[in-house]
Amino acid sequence: MNDYKQDNTLAIIAIVLGGLGFVLSLLPCVGFLSVPLGVLGIILGAIAYFKARDNGDKKTLSIVALVLSFLPLLISALWFFTFKSSLSDIDAADYSSIQSCDTLQMEINKLDDEIKVLESELEGADEGAKVFGSITKLTRITINITKMREQADILGCDLSDNGGESIIKIDSLYEEGVIEEIDTEDQQ
């Protein structure tokens, strides 16, 4: 009977670790911190499962612990691969080949249109994958506009006088804390 309580305790600890890991994994920027909690939960859940199996006790709590501890790993992997795939094309974007201020302005106008579409998507979206996808797209657009502004500075273009909505939109998102790292010196 004492061994059952010990096995039960291991399963409960694994459930708590898995639950904490699950909640933490839902947070976009710190979700990777859930991985150690999930791994530890899986280890404790597996120990509890094998002890319960060897003792002939119920394995329900240990199975729940294993499933719940696996979820943070799965969600963190989804976050990682989604961001990795969406940001890989950003690294490939090279605006140094653009040697015309007008061409840069046209590219920024295209991104303005994308931002408007994202705004309408976010207004109509409840939660979940659609919001996550919109945030990922917004990150891509922000990095591309920053790269375009760097190229504009190299060419000596003054894109801030044209009232570009994308620059204003990104400035407002920066002030609201949605976007944390943008070179504010380039935006002035």
Average pLDDT over residues 132-154: 76
Q: What percent of the chain has a predicted confidence (pLDDT) above 70?
A: 67
Rounded to whole angstroms, the Cα distance separating 132 from 119 reads 13
pLDDT band at 16 (very low <50, low <70, confident <90, very high): very high
Q: Is the pLDDT of residue 94 over 80?
A: no
Contact (Cβ atoms closer than 8 angstroms) between residue 79 and residue 25:
yes
List, for residues 179-188, the tens digit of each pLDDT value: 444 444 444 4
State the DSSP string of 119-178.
HHHHHH--STHHHHHHHHHHHHHHHHHHHHHHHHHHHT--GGGGT-HHHHHHHHHHHTTS
Per-residue confidence (pLDDT) for residue 159, from 0 to 100: 67
Per-residue confidence (pLDDT) for residue 186, from 0 to 100: 45
**Residue 40 tokens, joined:** 């530890």
The rounded mean pLDDT for the chain is 75
List, for residues 46-92, the tens digit of each pLDDT value: 999 999 888 888 889 999 999 999 999 999 888 887 777 666 555 55
